[in-house]
Amino acid sequence: MVNHITLYQHGTLALLVPGLLKGTITMSELLKHGDTGIGTGEGLDGELIILDGKPYHVHATGDVTLAPKSFRMPFANAHFARYTPLAELENVNQAELNKQLVSLSRAANTFFSIKITGTFSNIQTRAAVKSRPPYHTLAETAENQSVFTRDQINGTLIGYYAPQLFEGAAVGGFHDHFISDDRKFGGHVLNFHLVKGDVSYQLFDTFEQHLPVSDKDFMQHDFSKDDIAGSIQKSE
């Protein structure tokens, strides 16, 4: 039986902060937990968006390829899609839209996903440049990322909302990735204006947090000295 009410997460945002960027889950394992999702590759190798079971990998060059099953990630979210229509919206920016989504969904205290298909203008995305050991911290990576913009583009945005209580494990609030209809443009969403789009959402009652307990670097790290919330808010 397919589970539509669980959001699976491998890794935490917190482990990206000090640069614990080893790939600790494969794409084939991740896809057991969903046909829809977002993530990043080992060493913060670009940005991933999974749609209908297909994992699109947006590289720092801007190129988009399909990630192989052996592709390894330090952080990813996945779930099995069963979105419910929420609204048809026009002429709204990201901040306004997020505010409306929390209000319309009445789900500020739980996890949910949003899916927006439509026409976007002034959309700005980023894709991190892969680092090799010793890995960069999240702040260093943010200084070394590619930023892409498109004025008018049709595509799909997949976002995950986490309650503020889970800031650090996830991004408190929305974490959005994008892929264009022609599958040639995408990444982690920094900003956008929605010209016109269908917004749907999917509410979760369970957050399944999987941790890379076999990774010694993760298990032995002292997180008490990391500015987790500050670093995530700056970079995400």
φ/ψ (deg, to 5) at 189: -80, 125
Residue 153 interacting with a copy of itself (CB under 8 A): no
Q: Please state whether the peptide bond connecting residue 134 to the residue before it is cis, i.e. omega within 30 degrees of 0.
A: yes
Which DSSP helix (H) or strand (E) runs through 193?
strand 186-203
Distance of CA 64 to the CA centre of its chain: 16
| Binding-residue pattern over the window 107 to 136 for a copy of itself, x denoting contact by CB under 8 A | xxxxx-------------------------
Closer residue to a copy of itself in complex, CB, 45/236: 236
Name residues contacting a copy of itself, limited to 51-110 (CB under 8 A): 106-110
d(CA 179, CA 174): 17
Nearer to a copy of itself, 70 or 220 (CB): 220
- Minimum CB separation of residue 84 from a copy of itself in Å reads 14
Locus of tokens 């997020």? 98
Q: Is 1 in the site for a copy of itself (CB under 8 A)?
A: no
**Smallest gap from residue 139 Cβ to a copy of itself (A):** 18
Q: How many residues bind a copy of itself (CB under 8 A)?
A: 31
What phi and psi, each to the nearest 5 degrees, are found at residue 101? -65, -40
How many other β-carbons are positioned within 10 Å of the β-carbon of residue 190?
17
Token code pair at residue 187: 């990444």
Contact flag: residue 32 with a copy of itself (CB under 8 A): no
CB 50 within 8 A of CB 57: no
Closer by beta carbon to a copy of itself, 59 or else 175? 175
Binding site for a copy of itself (CB under 8 A): 12, 14, 106-111, 163-166, 168-169, 203, 205-213, 218-221, 223-224, 228
